[in-house]
């Protein structure tokens, strides 16, 4: 007992000696920087909300800003009145969803002699490769122009596959290319609603459509993802399209003018966000983009936490790394206006891709909890309560059906900000994991099938897949701060701290998302 008291006394003595000269100044600087970043993020959110309101009520819809006329058969020209369209479907071991995507692409209502379906299969599993090739042959036997393409390596991952796909001779006859990831299922009228924008507006290089999530009700984690992505599509993409004719290409469910793609330099694999890289380069060449919120393409959200975590690493690391690589190129560019440069550098990259991730984790999961232990630092109410509340409510606009889940969304986003912040610094500093690419696992109907076939057996769960040390460590820190605040604090932060600690523990022990039984 005396030994324990001695250790506690020594720790207390060291804390008292370090606190005033080191901890307090550092925490004060961190709090100030976080408040500045919070104001930046708040201003960005309010600004975008105001733009969307103006767009909605004053009718600045794409069909009014750009010329659009449906394409019809010409008596003299016949089907040649329709431009040649290439549809690319990049795949990698997509056993669960390959039939859905190929079937949806082959079902597009476009003259059969004016469309080429190109399946780019990078699969390493020979069984899956055979299945995909067989599916392509099945559709080809029905008169669909399907090309099954493989390569002997996976260099460049998705970007490499798309780049190789553009090198085939038959592509030279195509004017436009539509891209769909393996879990995306476009409606039959997709091309007839998107391609006319490119046909009638020669300055447009890209038409991007909205994602519609087929499994958003699968679990609480997919509901949280839906809220975040709906905000992205409802607000961020709409603002970029309406004001600047620029936004980040989402990598799928979009149609490119091939000449714009080529002028921008084609696909590059220097970052894990090859889609955003291409969009920025095309924009710097003067091409405009349009976003169609009323054209929706069905797709699947990651159902397992492991898949979602890998996806978020790629989506957070890639933009930060691209910002590092392209900052000076954007600054020196002569073809775009200064206003558009400011938008791309400050709004698009700095605030949304860097500040948003860092402030969420550092402020709400480190600085505010630490002020409980260091009462000399006081966070003003507008920074700790009012600004976060308004930002949260503005985010909920995208998914009104999930308003009752706001608290869960806040807690989950704060947990995920740990990984996003880590990935952001990996991208900015270009460390070893900067080009890590792990394909997001899609389940299709596999989860339902496995649930039925294995009902009699208990699924074997690998401990390594369920326990996440980082989350447990942060959860322990928040729980300790909550206990300290409950005993000695004066700001009642303990309510938030206990809830947030619980969220980190839930994720840390793997009780989030779907659990897929191992065979």
Active-site amino acid positions: 122, 275
Q: Which residues contact 222 (CB under 8 A, 6 or more apart)?
A: 213, 215, 216, 301, 302, 303, 513
Radius of gyration of the chain (CA): 25
Q: Say how far apart CA 183 and CA 88 lie, in whole Å.
A: 13
Pair of tokens at residue 503: 């969220």
Beta-strand ranges (E) seen in 300-431 are none
3-state secondary structure of 212: strand
Q: Say how far apart CA 91 and CA 102 lie, in whole Å.
A: 10
- Which one-letter DSSP state was computed for residue 335? S
The three-state (H, E, C) secondary structure of 109-125, written as one string: CCCHHHEEEEEEECCCC
Q: Say how far apart CA 499 and CA 103 lie, in whole Å.
A: 45
Q: What stretch of H or E contains 100?
A: helix 98-106
Q: Say how far apart CA 15 and CA 26 lie, in whole Å.
A: 14
Q: Which residues contact 411 (CB under 8 A, 6 or more apart)?
A: 499, 500, 502, 503
3-state secondary structure of 333: coil
Q: Which residues contact 143 (CB under 8 A, 6 or more apart)?
A: 112
Q: Say how far apart CA 361 and CA 357 lie, in whole Å.
A: 7
- Residue 102 CB neighbour total at 10 angstroms: 27
Q: Say how far apart CA 517 and CA 56 lie, in whole Å.
A: 46
What angle separates helix 98-106 from helix 126-140, to the nearest 10 degrees? Answer: 20
Pair of tokens at residue 189: 């009228």
Q: Are 114 and 83 in contact (CB under 8 A)?
A: yes
DSSP 138-149: HHHTTT--EEEE
Give 86's strand partners: 116, 177
Q: Are 164 and 248 in contact (CB under 8 A)?
A: no
Q: Are 139 and 102 in contact (CB under 8 A)?
A: yes
């Amino acid at each position: 007992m005396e030994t324990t008291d001695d250790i506690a006394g020594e720790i207390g003595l060291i804390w008292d000696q370090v606190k005033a000269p080191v901890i307090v100044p550092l925490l004060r600087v961190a709090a100030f920087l976080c408040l500045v970043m919070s104001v930046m993020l708040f201003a960005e959110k309010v600004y975008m909300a105001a733009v969307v309101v103006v767009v909605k009520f004053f009718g600045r819809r794409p069909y009014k800003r750009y010329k659009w006329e449906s394409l019809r058969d010409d008596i003299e020209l016949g089907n040649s009145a329709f431009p040649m369209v290439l549809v690319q479907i990049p795949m990698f071991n997509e056993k669960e969803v390959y039939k859905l995507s190929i079937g949806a692409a082959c079902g597009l209502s476009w003259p059969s002699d004016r469309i080429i379906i190109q399946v780019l299969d990078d699969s390493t599993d020979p069984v899956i490769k055979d299945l995909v090739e067989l599916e392509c042959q099945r559709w080809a036997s029905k008169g669909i122009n399907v090309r099954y393409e493989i390569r002997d390596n996976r260099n460049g991952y998705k970007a490499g596959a798309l780049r190789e796909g553009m090198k085939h001779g038959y592509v030279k006859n195509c004017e436009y290319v539509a891209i769909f990831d393996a879990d995306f299922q476009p409606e039959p009228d997709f091309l007839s609603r998107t391609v006319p924008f490119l046909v009638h507006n020669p300055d447009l290089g890209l038409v991007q459509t909205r994602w519609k999530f087929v499994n958003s009700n699968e679990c609480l984690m997919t509901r949280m993802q839906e809220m975040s992505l709906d905000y992205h599509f409802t607000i961020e993409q709409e603002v970029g399209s309406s004001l600047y004719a620029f936004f980040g290409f989402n990598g799928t469910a979009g149609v490119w003018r091939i000449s714009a793609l080529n002028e921008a330099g084609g696909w590059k694999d220097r970052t894990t966000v090859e889609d955003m890289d291409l969009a920025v380069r095309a924009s710097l060449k003067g091409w405009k983009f349009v976003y169609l919120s009323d054209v929706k393409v069905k797709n699947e959200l990651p159902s397992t936490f492991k898949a979602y975590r890998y996806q978020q690493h790629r989506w957070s690391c890639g933009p930060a790394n691209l910002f590092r690589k392209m900052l000076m190129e954007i600054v020196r560019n002569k073809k775009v206006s200064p206003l558009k440069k400011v938008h791309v550098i400050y709004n698009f990259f700095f605030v949304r891709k860097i500040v948003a991730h860092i402030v969420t984790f550092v402020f709400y999961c480190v600085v505010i909890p630490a002020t409980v232990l260091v009462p000399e630092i006081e966070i003003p109410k507008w920074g700790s309560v009012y600004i976060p509340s308004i930002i949260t409510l503005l985010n909920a606009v995208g998914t009104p059906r999930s308003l009752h889940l706001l608290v869960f969304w806040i807690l989950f986003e704060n947990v995920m900000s740990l990984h996003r912040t880590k990935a952001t610094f990996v991208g900015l500093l270009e460390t070893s994991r900067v080009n890590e690419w792990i394909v997001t696992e899609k389940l299709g109907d596999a989860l339902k099938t496995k649930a039925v076939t294995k009902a009699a057996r208990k699924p074997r769960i690998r401990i390594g897949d369920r326990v996440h040390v980082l989350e447990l460590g942060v959860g322990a820190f928040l729980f300790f701060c909550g206990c300290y605040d409950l005993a000695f604090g004066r700001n009642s932060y303990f309510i938030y701290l206990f809830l947030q600690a619980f969220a980190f523990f839930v994720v840390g022990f793997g009780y989030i998302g779907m659990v897929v039984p191992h065979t």
